[in-house]
């Protein structure tokens, strides 16, 4: 069977959104906590960040450099889970069960994992170092039909110190890596990248 038969021709849908708290040790090394689900994915739209800088000589673009500053955009979900509010947004839950948002507390950085369906197999992604804004607060009255209101937050995905921004699976990804995608944050094996 030709290798092209394993490749997706299209992508559609969004599901399996997970977050994992980024942990930075005193020596600057990075690791991640166990990923947890953010159910109810509605949409994800991220635009690339960076610049293109042309250098002109001999009346032409003689050299052009580009920078990769990651991505930014919006993640829309049915409802932000409490685990995300506690671990990432750093909202504090009191003994009375009330979540309190504090303007003096910075949200934590995290890895964001998700997948897009394809006509052959879902492609799984990880953005290694993300930050986010607080989710919007909105609602509306119920009329003839009940339309759910969603939560949206702006996500910024930045490069790690070593330059990695994101990773995604391919038709050649091993079953071991593919099947464990949401149990730990994928790290490339030294020498393979």
Query: What is the per-residue pLDDT for 2?
Result: 44
Count the neighbouring beta carbons within 10 Å of the beta carbon of residue 82.
Answer: 11
Q: What's the pLDDT score for residue 4?
A: 47
Q: How far apart (Å, rounded) are the C-alpha atoms in residues 125 and 164?
A: 13
pLDDT of residue 87: 96
Mean pLDDT per 10-residue section of the chain, whose length is 193 residues: 65 93 92 96 92 82 83 95 96 93 95 92 95 87 83 95 93 93 86 57
- Terminal alpha carbon distance of the chain: 27
User: What is the reported pLDDT for 190?
Assistant: 54
SS3 86: helix
Output the pLDDT for position 69.
86
CA separation for the pair 185, 20 (Å, rounded): 7
């Amino acid at each position: 069977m030709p290798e092209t038969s394993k490749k997706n021709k299209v992508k559609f849908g969004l599901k399996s959104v997970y977050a994992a708290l980024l942990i930075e040790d005193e020596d600057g090394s990075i690791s991640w906590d166990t990923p947890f689900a953010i159910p109810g994915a509605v949409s994800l739209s991220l635009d690339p960040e960076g610049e293109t800088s042309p250098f002109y000589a001999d009346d032409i673009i003689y050299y052009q450099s580009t920078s990769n500053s990651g991505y930014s955009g919006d993640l829309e979900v049915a409802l932000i889970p409490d685990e995300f509010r506690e671990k990432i947004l750093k909202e504090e839950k009191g003994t009375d069960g009330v979540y309190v948002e504090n303007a003096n507390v910075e949200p934590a950085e995290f890895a964001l994992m998700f997948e897009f369906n394809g006509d052959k197999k879902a492609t799984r992604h990880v953005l290694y170092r993300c930050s986010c804004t607080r989710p919007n607060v909105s609602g509306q009255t119920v009329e003839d039909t009940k339309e759910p209101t969603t939560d949206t937050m702006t996500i910024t995905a930045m490069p790690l110190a070593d330059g990695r921004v994101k990773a995604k699976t391919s038709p050649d990804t091993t079953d071991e890596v593919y099947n464990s995608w949401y149990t730990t944050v994928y790290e490339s094996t030294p020498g393979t990248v």
